[in-house]
Structure 1
Amino acid sequence: MIPVSWTVMIPVKPPLVGKSRLGPATPERAALAAAIALDTIGAVARARGVGRVMVVTADASFAQRLPGGVEVVAEPRPAGIDAALSRAAARAGDATPRAALPADLAALQPEELAAALEDAVAWSRAVVPDAEGRGTTLLTAGAGVPWRSAYGPESFSRHVTLGCHALTIAEGSGLRCDLDTPAQLVAARGGLDARTLLAS
Structure 2
Amino acid sequence: MIPVKGSTGKSRLAHPDRAELASAIALDTIEAVCGARHVAEVVVVTSDGQLAVRTVSEVGGGRRPEVRVVPDPGAGLNPAITAGLTAARPDRPRAALLGDLPALTAADLDAALDLAAAHERAFVPDAEGTGTTLITASAGAPIEPAFGAASAARHAASGFASLPIPAASTLRRDVDTADQLSVAAHLGLGPRTSALL
TM-score between both structures, scaled by the size of structure 2 = 0.92
Q: 1:35 aligns with which of 19, 24, 27?
A: 24
Matches within 5 A, 1:21-32: 21-23=12-14, 28-32=17-21
Q: Distance in 1 between matches of 2:24 and 2:85?
A: 25
Matches within 5 A, 1:135-154: 135-154=131-150
Give, in angstroms, the shift of residue 193 of structure 1.
1.2
CA contact (8 A) 2:43 2:87 kept: no
Matches within 5 A, 1:32-71: 32-66=21-55, 67-68=59-60, 69-71=66-68
Kindly report structure 1 stretches of 4+ aligned residues shifted beyond 3 Å: none
Q: How many residues align structurally?
A: 188
State the match for 1:3 in structure 2: none
Structure 2 gaps, min length 5: 61-65
Note if 1:97 corresponds to 2:88.
Answer: no
Q: Distance in 2 between matches of 1:36 and 1:85?
A: 18
Q: Distance in 1 between matches of 2:189 and 2:13?
A: 16
Note if 1:196 corresponds to 2:161.
Answer: no
Q: Distance in 2 between matches of 1:146 and 1:170?
A: 27
State the match for 1:5 in structure 2: none
Note if 1:158 corresponds to 2:154.
Answer: yes
Note if 1:14 corresponds to 2:3.
Answer: no
Q: Root-mean-square deviation (CA), in Å?
A: 1.2
Amino acid at match of 1:155: S
Structure 1 gaps, min length 5: 1-8
Give, in angstroms, the shift of residue 199 of structure 1.
1.3
More deviation in 88-97 or 130-139? 88-97
State the match for 1:4 in structure 2: none
State the match for 1:133 in structure 2: 129
Matches within 5 A, 1:104-119: 104-119=100-115
Kindly provide the CA deviation profile for residues 13-49 of structure 1, in whole angstroms up to 9, marking residues without a partner as x: 031x20111137x6x0001000000000000000011
Amino acid at match of 1:105: L
Identity %, equivalent residues: 51
Q: Distance in 2 between matches of 1:10 and 1:29?
A: 20
